[in-house]
Chain A
Amino acid sequence: MPSAHALARRPALTAGGILVTLVLALALLSLLWTPYDPTHVDAAQRLLPPGGGHVLGTDQFGRDVASRLMTGARTTVFVGVVAVGFAAVIGVPMGLAAGMSGGPLSALLMRVSDFLLAFPALLLAIMLAAVYGTSTLTAMVAIGIASAPGFARVARAATLRVMAAEYVDAARLARRTRAAIALRHVLPNIRDVVIVQASVAFATAVLAEAALSYLGLGTPPPTPSWGRMLLDSQELLFSQPELCLWPGLAVAAAVLGLNLLGDGLRDRFDPTLEGVR
C-alpha cells in the first residue's frame, strides 16, 4: 500500500482516485439501497425543495432526485465499462497487429482507424439508433466504436517501441512464434499506456453517454441516467435550477475524476520517472 506521504506527492492521482471511487461507491450502493424507489411517480410530491424527507428534493414527477442520481451512477459506470472494454477489445489488437507487422497490413489497419476517427460519433449513434432503436446497448456500441481508434493508435505506438527492444530479438532467437512474442512480451509491456488510455476514454464515454441520453439517443426512460435527468430538468431551468445542477455536477465530478486519474497514472508509469521514488 502506498503511504500517505506517497499519495500527497501525487495529488492528481489521489484526487482522481477519490472522485472515481465515490462514483463507483454510489453505483454499487444503489444496487442494495436507495432512499426511495427512483422510478416511483407521485404527483402529490412534485418539485419539493431539497431538505426534509428528500435530501435533494423531487423532480416534476415527484421522483426522489437523490435516488435517481445514485441509480444514474450505475448507468454511467455500466456504459463506461462496456464501451471502453469494447473499444479496447477492438483497438488494442488492431494497434498490436499494425505495430508488429509493419508494411501494407499496418497501413491498412491505420487507415481504417483514421476513417473511424474522422466519422462523427454522433452520426454513428443516430444511425445505430435508427436501425436498432434507442437503448443503452446502442449507445455503448456507438461510444465503443468511436473510442477504438484511440486505443489502436496508442497501442501501435507502444508496440513499435517494444518491437525495437533487444529482448524481442532475443525472443526471436529463442524461436518464439509471433503470437507468443505478442502475448508474452509486447502486451505486458504496453499494458501501462493502455490503462492510461482506458481511464481517459472512460471519461469521454461518460460525457458521451450523458450527451446521447440528453438528446434522447441513449438510455430510454424510465431508467435513470444523468443525461436523461439533464434533459428532463431543462424545461424547469429557470424555475428549479438545482434540478439540472445535481446531474451536471455528477457528470463533471466523474469526468474530472477520471481525467485526473488518467494523468496521475501516466505520470506514475512514465518510464522517464522510473527509479525516482
Chain B
Amino acid sequence: MSPGSSALLEVEGLTVDVGGTPLVRDVGFTVGRGERVGIIGESGSGKTLTALALLGLLGEGLRAGGSARLAGVPFDLLGATDRELSTVRGRLAGMVFQEPMTALNPVMRTGAQVAEALRLHGPRSERPARDAARATAVELLGRLRLPDPARAARAYPHQLSGGQRQRAVLAGALANDPALLICDEPTTALDVTVQKEIVDLIRGVSDERGTAVLYISHDLALVASVCHRVLVMHDGRIVESGPVEQVLRQPEHPYTQALLSASDLSVPAPRPPAPAEPRTLLRARGLTRRYARPRRGLLGPRTHFTALEGLDLELRAGARVGVVGESGSGKTTLLRLLSGLDRPTSGTVENAAGDGLRDSAPGSGLQVVFQDPMGSLDPRMRVRDIVAEPLPDRRSPAAAARVAELLADVGLPAEAAGRYPHQFSGGQRQRIAIARALAPRPSVLLADEPVSALDMSVRAQVLDVLSRVTAERDMALCIVTHDLGVVRYLCDEVVVMREGRVVERGPVERVWVAPEHPYTRQLLDAVPVLR
C-alpha cells in the first residue's frame, strides 16, 4: 500500500496555451513509483489538458511548455518529438480515456487491438509473434476479469457492454506493464455498479504490479477511494495538494472547501410542508412497453423486448419521488410514457389536467426537464423564445412578462432572455430548461437525470432550484436518475428499477438504512462516499 519513495514522474512549470491564452498555468507535481495520484477539477479546470500534454496528445493549436521527466526516459516529455514520445506511450505510460466506445476501433476485434498494443509498443528486440501476442491478449483480458476472455477477444467492441469495453481498453493500456497509468474519467460513462468494479480493478492492478496511477476525475468521493494523494485544479492552476485524508478533512483553499461542501449531498434539502389534503396529480397503472425486435431472417419469428413491465405509480401534490436504476432499467422509457412522448403497449397514464384525471397527452399538466441541457435547448433560438415556447400567446407582452418572471424564479438575470443557449454554462442552461418546463404551469415536473451532465459545484444549486420551484407551486416532482445521492438529497420516496421492473420502493430513509432487495444493497454499496 505504501508508495515507493523515488519519483517516477516529475512535472515542473507545466503550461498549456492556445494562441497566447493560457489554459494551464505553472502546474508542478510528482508521482512516486506505485503511487496513485488524483487530479480533481471541474470542466475547464485544465485537468485533462495536463494529462494529454504529458503524452504529447494535445490538439492542434495547443502548445505545452515547462518540463516533465519520466524515470527511465532520457528526454523531457514536453519538449520531445512525436517519434520520441511514441517510444513512451503504451510502453512506459498507458492511457485510459473516458469513452470506451470511441477509444476502441469499431471494425477490429477486441483481442486483436490488445495484441496490437503489445506488438506496437513493446521493445523492438522482444516484439512477440502475432500468435503469441494474441495468446497474451486473451490472458490479459482474463486478468482484467472479463468473463470468457477467449470469446471477448473474438468480439467486436459493439458486442461488449460498456464495462467490458473499458476493461478491454485497460487491458490494452496495461499490455506492456507500464510504470504509469493515466486514467481520464475512466468510469464517468459507466453505471455505478460497473464503476465500482473498474475502480477496484485499477486499484488491484496498481497494488499488484506497482503501477503508478494518475487518476483524473470530477468526483471527489471516487478519487478519495482510489488515490493516495490528490491535486485540486481550478482555472488552470493547482490550488491545493496533499494526502487524500488531509485535503478532504482539512481543506485549506476556499475553492476546495466550496467544492467539498457542494459535493456533499448527504444533508437533505429542506422539505416543504406537505399539503393538507394532497390530491392525486398523476396515476399510472400497469404500464408496459414492448419494442419489436427486428426479425431474424425473412420468416423468423417476431420477438419483443420488454423495456418496462407492469409499473404502477401515483404522484400526489407535494410528492417527491426518485426513480433509480442503471442503464437498461427502463427508467427513461417510464419517463417518456408518463410524459406522453411515447404510448404504452398496455396500461394507462392519467393526469390532472384541469379538474379530473384524464388520459395523458404530451404537455398536458406535465413537463419534463431533460438530461442534457445543451441538447434540450434549440441552439438557434434565443432564451426568450425557448422559455416562451410552451405559452399559448408566446408573442404577447404578457408572455414576455411571464418569461422575465420565470427567469428570475430560477435565478437568472433578466438580460439572459436576449441571449443564445451556447452563451451559458451547463448549470445556467439547466435553469433555462427548468424555466421553460414551468412556463405552462404544469402540476407535475419530471426530471431526467437533471444534474448528471453538470459540474459538482452547480449540482446542489440546480437541485435546490428544482426543489424550491416545485414546493412553491404545490407540484409533484419525479426525478429519474442513476445517482442515489441525488435521490436522497431531494426525494421522500424512492422506486428502484432493474430490467424494466420495480425491485423495491419505499420511503428514502428506510431504503437507505435497511434495503430489502439485494440489488438495492448492491447499488448502495457501489456509491463512493466521502467519509
Seen from chain A, the residues whose Cβ lies within 8 Å of a Cβ on chain B are 165-167, 169-176, 184-185, 188-189, 276
Across the interface, B370 reaches (CB within 8 A) one of A170, A174, A176, A276, namely A170
- Determine whether the beta carbon of B363 is less than 8 Å from that of A174: yes
User: For the complex, what is the distance from the CA of A240 to the CA of B364, rounded to whole Å?
Assistant: 77
- Determine whether the beta carbon of A170 is less than 8 Å from that of B380: no
Interface residues of B in 450-481 (CB under 8 A from A): none
On chain B, the residues within 8 Å of A173 by CB distance are 339-341, 362-363, 366-368, 390
- Determine whether the beta carbon of B370 is less than 8 Å from that of A166: yes
Residue of A nearest to B370 (CB): A166
Per DSSP, chain B at the interface is loop
On chain B, the residues within 8 Å of A167 by CB distance are 375-378
Residue of B nearest to A191 (CB): B380
Residue of B nearest to A189 (CB): B380
Apart from A165-B375, A169-B376, list 19 A-B contacts with CB within 8 A: A165-B378, A166-B376, A167-B378, A169-B368, A170-B376, A170-B389, A170-B436, A172-B363, A173-B339, A173-B363, A173-B368, A174-B363, A174-B439, A175-B362, A175-B363, A185-B378, A185-B381, A188-B380, A276-B61
Q: How far, in Å, is A177 (CB) from chain B's closest CB?
A: 11
- Asked, given contacts A189-B378, A189-B379, whether A172 binds B341 with beta carbons under 8 Å apart, the answer is yes
User: For the complex, what is the distance from the CA of A174 to the CA of B370, rounded to whole Å?
Assistant: 13
- Asked, given contacts A175-B362, A175-B390, A176-B389, whether A169 binds B380 with beta carbons under 8 Å apart, the answer is no
Q: How far, in Å, is B450 (CB) from chain A's closest CB?
A: 12
Q: 16 A–B contact pairs at CB < 8 A?
A: A165-B378, A166-B370, A166-B371, A167-B375, A167-B377, A167-B378, A170-B376, A170-B436, A173-B340, A173-B363, A173-B390, A174-B389, A175-B362, A175-B363, A184-B378, A188-B381
Interface residues of B in 379-425 (CB under 8 A from A): 379-381, 389-390
Q: How far, in Å, is A268 (CB) from chain B's closest CB?
A: 16
Most buried by B among A165, A166, A175: A166
On chain B, the residues within 8 Å of A176 by CB distance are 389
User: For the complex, what is the distance from the CA of A256 to the CA of B375, rounded to whole Å?
Assistant: 37
User: For the complex, what is the distance from the CA of A233 to the CA of B440, rounded to whole Å?
Assistant: 70
User: For the complex, what is the distance from the CA of A129 to the CA of B376, rounded to whole Å?
Assistant: 50
Residue of B nearest to A176 (CB): B389
Per-residue A-contact encoding for B344-387, CB less than 8 Å = 1, 0 else: 00000000000000000011101110111001111111000000
On chain B, the residues within 8 Å of A276 by CB distance are 61
On chain A, the residues within 8 Å of B378 by CB distance are 165, 167, 171, 184-185, 188-189
On chain B, the residues within 8 Å of A185 by CB distance are 378, 380-381
Most buried by B among A165, A170, A175: A170
- Determine whether the beta carbon of B341 is less than 8 Å from that of A169: yes
Seen from chain B, the residues whose Cβ lies within 8 Å of a Cβ on chain A are 61, 339-341, 362-364, 366-368, 370-372, 375-381, 389-390, 433, 436, 439-440
Residue of A nearest to B19 (CB): A277
Q: How far, in Å, is B60 (CB) from chain A's closest CB?
A: 9
User: For the complex, what is the distance from the CA of A18 to the CA of B148, rounded to whole Å?
Assistant: 61
Residue of B nearest to A171 (CB): B389
User: For the complex, what is the distance from the CA of A219 to the CA of B463, rounded to whole Å?
Assistant: 68
Q: How far, in Å, is A106 (CB) from chain B's closest CB?
A: 17
On chain A, the residues within 8 Å of B364 by CB distance are 175
- Determine whether the beta carbon of B368 is less than 8 Å from that of A170: yes
Q: How far, in Å, is A272 (CB) from chain B's closest CB?
A: 12
4 closest cross-chain pairs (CB), A and B: A174-B390, A166-B376, A188-B380, A166-B370
User: For the complex, what is the distance from the CA of A189 to the CA of B420, rounded to whole Å?
Assistant: 14
Residue of A nearest to B342 (CB): A169
User: For the complex, what is the distance from the CA of A185 to the CA of B341, rounded to whole Å?
Assistant: 17
Residue of B nearest to A175 (CB): B363
- Asked, given contacts A174-B363, A185-B378, A188-B380, whether A166 binds B341 with beta carbons under 8 Å apart, the answer is no
Q: How far, in Å, is B377 (CB) from chain A's closest CB?
A: 6
On chain A, the residues within 8 Å of B380 by CB distance are 185, 188-189
Residue of A nearest to B440 (CB): A174
Q: How far, in Å, is B445 (CB) from chain A's closest CB?
A: 11
User: For the complex, what is the distance from the CA of A166 to the CA of B368, rounded to whole Å?
Assistant: 10
Most buried by B among A169, A173, A175, A185: A173
On chain B, the residues within 8 Å of A165 by CB distance are 375-376, 378
Q: How far, in Å, is A198 (CB) from chain B's closest CB?
A: 18
User: For the complex, what is the distance from the CA of A276 to the CA of B62, rounded to whole Å?
Assistant: 11
- Determine whether the beta carbon of A166 is less than 8 Å from that of B389: no
User: For the complex, what is the distance from the CA of A56 to the CA of B380, rounded to whole Å?
Assistant: 49
User: For the complex, what is the distance from the CA of A174 to the CA of B379, rounded to whole Å?
Assistant: 17
Q: How far, in Å, is A218 (CB) from chain B's closest CB?
A: 39
Q: How far, in Å, is A169 (CB) from chain B's closest CB?
A: 6
Residue of B nearest to A271 (CB): B379
Q: How far, in Å, is A41 (CB) from chain B's closest CB?
A: 55
On chain B, the residues within 8 Å of A189 by CB distance are 378-380
- Determine whether the beta carbon of A166 is less than 8 Å from that of B363: no
On chain A, the residues within 8 Å of B440 by CB distance are 174
On chain A, the residues within 8 Å of B390 by CB distance are 173-175
- Determine whether the beta carbon of A166 is less than 8 Å from that of B375: yes
Residue of A nearest to B372 (CB): A166
Q: How far, in Å, is A44 (CB) from chain B's closest CB?
A: 62
User: For the complex, what is the distance from the CA of A172 to the CA of B389, rounded to whole Å?
Assistant: 10
User: For the complex, what is the distance from the CA of A188 to the CA of B378, rounded to whole Å?
Assistant: 10
User: For the complex, what is the distance from the CA of A26 to the CA of B380, rounded to whole Å?
Assistant: 36
Most buried by A among B366, B375, B378: B378
Q: How far, in Å, is B385 (CB) from chain A's closest CB?
A: 8
User: For the complex, what is the distance from the CA of A172 to the CA of B360, rounded to whole Å?
Assistant: 13
User: For the complex, what is the distance from the CA of A184 to the CA of B341, rounded to whole Å?
Assistant: 19
Residue of A nearest to B371 (CB): A166
Q: How far, in Å, is A242 (CB) from chain B's closest CB?
A: 45
